[in-house]
Amino acid sequence: MTTKTRQKIYYAILVISVSALLTFGGGVYREVSASSDDTYRSLKIFSDVIEQLENNYVEEVDSKELIQKAIQGMVQSLDPHSTYLPPDAFELLQDDTKGEFSGVGIVITARKGMLTVVSPIEGTPAYRAGIKAGDIIYKVDGTPTREITIGETVKKIKGPKGTSVILTILRKGSSKPIDFKIVRNVIPIESVRHIMLNSKYGYVRIYNFTEKTTYDIEGALDELESGETELKGLIMDIRDNPGGLLPQAIGISELFLEEGTILSIKGRLKKHTQIYKAHKNEKKRDYPIIVLINGGSASASEIVAGALQDHKRALVLGTTSFGKGSVQTVKPLRDGSGLKFTIARYYTPSGQSIQAKGIEPDIILKRKMIEETETEEDWEDIYNIKEKDLKNHLEAEPDKKSEENFKSGKEEESTSDSSLEHTEFAALNLKTLMLDNQVSRALDILVSYEIFKNLKE
């Protein structure tokens, strides 16, 4: 082990030991001393392992890389949503939550070992250049994508506004690769799209919860409500929405609630415990709402669905949601990396934890596509795995000792993993929407409600 590496490890041991003493004070000196000794011995073993591998492993090892992987393993052993984010990954996470980034505007995914375009984002440089869904990204600026990770590919595609990148594409029907030189621009990450299903009923789709989502949905609602005919009902579609920022979920819920609890968060520490309340809105929205959910609706999506369901403000239709009832915070580290870790569980207004359980819809209806021939075809559900299936998932309730800590505390921001490959950007198409049996059923329910309400009058 090099002297520099050894100094870093022992410095970390020293800092942890001193921090433990300063945190607890002299009143429990013996307990703290024992805990510090245990920590020191464990870290000494860790440094011994690094030294052995560095000196004796069959091939030369990178100590920095080993330590990063050790940190990653340590954090991921806690629960599925806690993770160490190297600088590149931390930067991508920040882009996803900011609502925009500088790039070419494509949604990509790894498919059968090949980097494939899911769709070009409408109106972006890639869209205008002629990139199509199904195109395989063979090279980026001459570098074969098979030789680098998805994260490295994304980093190469992104870049400052006004600079260019060459994407070499393999396309079905083309005998040779095609080069596209694309000038980068600011790409908005659309989190909300909306459309009128007819003259009385609106539809709004929320794809994720970024910094701009509440603002975007307010704009969508204003448009839907400004028609010549009064809006009689709304379908809010949060299917396959993986979540995002906690304040946005609170803000969206509050648009439809005038009072009462939206969400309560209970953590081990007082500062991680909070009750969020609804307040009266400047604009009252009392039309009926149907919320569509499925197994891909997670985290912030479940907060919105749970709040509206518990307050009898919306009818929830679809299949049981993912079941992520925990709150994460992200802390930047000194080298540009980040630490995302769980700080609390959250509870719906009725006091229920959905952790590893999910939101149960009021009306259970599996998603199918209704063909124009009036036959039905099962639509593949790619979200078979739920929170309860994940390794090291938290239980729905903590132990009683943690329960006693439930007092009002300081608000914390939550982030949840959301990548572009899980986001849809295609413009909403009324004909396609009405072939979706869940959307069609939701509209039928809204129309029926209005008819029966008029009958009673």
pLDDT tens string 208-252: 899 999 999 999 999 999 989 999 999 999 997 888 899 999 999
Whether residue 210 is found in the same domain as residue 314:
yes
Looking at the fold, whether 387 and 253 belong to one and the same domain comes out as yes
Q: How many domains does the chain have?
A: 3
Residue 318 belongs to some domain of the structure: yes
Assigned domain for 77 exists: no
| Residue ending a domain, choose from 188, 215, 237 | 188
Range with the lowest mean pLDDT among 80-94, 240-254, 354-368, 396-410?
396-410
Of 14-23, 343-352, 404-413, the range with the highest mean pLDDT is 343-352
Full residue range of the structural domain in which residue 315 is found: 192-455
Q: Which pLDDT band, with edges at 50, 70 and 90, does 23 fall under?
A: very low
> Do residues 222 and 346 both lie within one domain?
yes
- The answer to whether residue 414 sits within a structural domain is yes
pLDDT tens digits, 321-351: 989 999 999 999 999 999 999 999 999 999 9
Q: How many residues are given for the chain?
A: 457
Of the candidate ranges 92-106, 125-139, 236-250, the one whose mean pLDDT is the lowest: 92-106
Query: E strands along 348-398, which residues?
Result: 363-364, 368-370, 376-378
Is the domain of 254 the same as that of 393?
A: yes
Shared domain for 196 and 183, answered yes or no, is no
Q: Are residues 302 and 428 in the same domain?
A: yes
Q: Which residues does 14 contact at the CB level (< 8 Å), separation at least 6?
A: none
**CATH code at position 111:** 2.30.42.10
Does any domain span residue 255? yes
- What distance in Å separates the CA atoms of residue 448 and residue 436, rounded to the nearest whole number? 18
In this structure, the answer to whether residues 211 and 292 fall within a common structural domain is yes
Catalytic residue among 79, 95, 237, 310: 310
83 is a domain residue: no
**183 shares its domain with 233:** no
- 305 pLDDT tier (thresholds 50, 70, 90): very high
Indicate the residue type of 67: I
Query: Is residue 73 a part of any domain in this protein?
Result: no
Instruction: Single out the catalytic residue among 324, 340, 357, 386.
Output: 324
User: Is there a catalytic annotation at residue 388?
Assistant: no
Say which CATH number the domain at 234 has: 3.90.226.10
38 annotated active-site: no
105 assigned to some structural domain? yes
Q: Are residues 161 and 239 located together in one domain of the fold?
A: no
Place of tokens 């915070």: 329
Whether 436 is catalytic: no
Together in a domain, 243 and 229: yes
Cα–Cα distance for residue pair 319/321, rounded to 1 Å: 6
Which is more confident, 26 or 348?
348
Q: Is 188 exposed, middle or buried (0-12, 13-18, 19+ CB in 10 A)?
A: middle
- Catalytic, out of 299, 301, 321, 326: 299
User: Are 207 and 133 contained in the same domain?
Assistant: no
pLDDT digits (tens, 9 = 90+) for 414-437: 333 333 333 344 468 898 899 999
Does position 27 have pLDDT exceeding 70, yes or no?
Answer: no
